[in-house]
Amino acid sequence: MEELTLEKFEEASEIVSRVTLETKLKYSEYFSNQTGNKVYFKPENMQYTGAYKVRGAYYKISTLSEEDRAKGIITASAGNHAQGVAYAAKLYNAKAVIVMPTNTPLIKINRTKSYGAEVVLYGDVYDDACEHALKLAEEHGYTFIHAFNDLDVACGQGSIAMEIIKELPTVDYILCPIGGGGLCTGVSTLAKMLNPKIKVIGVEPEDANCMQESLKADHVVSLPSVNTIADGTAVRTPGDKLFPYIKANVDEIITVPDDELIGAFLDMIENHKMVVENSGLLTVAALKHLDVKNKKIVSILSGGNMDVITMSSVVQHGLIQRGRIFSVSCLLPDKPGELAKVASLIAQVKGNIIKLDHNQFITINRSAAVELKITMESFGESHKKEIIAALAEGGFRPKEIRANL
């Protein structure tokens, strides 16, 4: 196994500091109270490019010869590494070509272009884009930089661990997202070098857990497919150069279902006023899966590049998931005043009507019943149940249905 040394990490941290913003740890009173630990966030979503990836990209390009930089640089990325490479290449006056999956959020595509890079959209997932980037590199003679399966890139990402430990020397746990494994390799390897007692926990999406499956098999395996809203970690095959480091330095891998990322997004918006993309939320959602108390835990928020359409969808689903938006179907006689009765009853229990759908043709006998679909806002599950109970007591036979905003 090619060696990552403390000297190399120290060099990378010094070089990376030239282009990174200071992302000091943020203590979370909310999550500390929720978990019984002292929880801190490493907010890499606040980096200039919106993610930690600029660290590995800039350090890697700094190690290239002038000749290799002059050939032009190409990479494949779901978005954040793309921006990191584009920005770093711009600083070195090098041409950058970025191959991105076709479903990459628009904000990541536009920002990558804003740094002067040429963007090529190809494939459904990162692995498809990477294969195409390698083909273009061979055709045009570009210098290829892998998004994660590169020890120089991983070394640059490890500068995060250096900063965490300098600021919080007594940290007990570091939670780190895993896609291909570059960030977790750098963070876990350096953390163990500086303090072997620190526990490093990798976090993957439940349906994109390529590293977890590789560790079970004791060798790198490829998933047949991945399916997750955490696009930055939608990787089928982890890095083979990184696998030995993950195996040696990561204490545990936790997987998180997409539904929990939706709740974590709401929590971050409401309690910390921070936009964190779904991959960055893995370490937030994982907090409740840790069976520890009274520990100092740092969750790395790897990025914040989320487009507004995705953001809107996640917020809506989160509110529905927590019972703060819900819909019911009621049956009521088709006569004047019945709609007012329903509205008055809901108002009495402090429900807030968002949308009404009044269907007079649910039955042939309109005087017997018409259907009223009501979408409402509540304070949460208990309040939702209170509203539904009030409608039932009023004789409106409410039946909860899937909210459709």
**Which residues carry out catalysis?**
53, 302
Q: Closest by alpha carbon to 338, among 363, 361, 369, 364?
A: 369
| Buried-exposed string 103-124: b where 16+ CB fall within 10 A, e elsewhere | ebbebbbebbeebebebeebbe
Cβ-Cβ contacts under 8 Å for 75 (sequence gap 6 or more): 57, 81, 82, 85, 96, 97, 98, 99, 133, 144, 145, 146, 147
Buried (b) or exposed (e) across 298-321, using 16+ Cβ within 10 A? bbbbbbbbbbeebbeebeebbbbe
Nearest 5°: the CA angle 228, 222, 118 is 65
> Residue 397's Cα: distance from chain center in Å?
41
Residues 35, 290 contacting (CB under 8 angstroms): yes
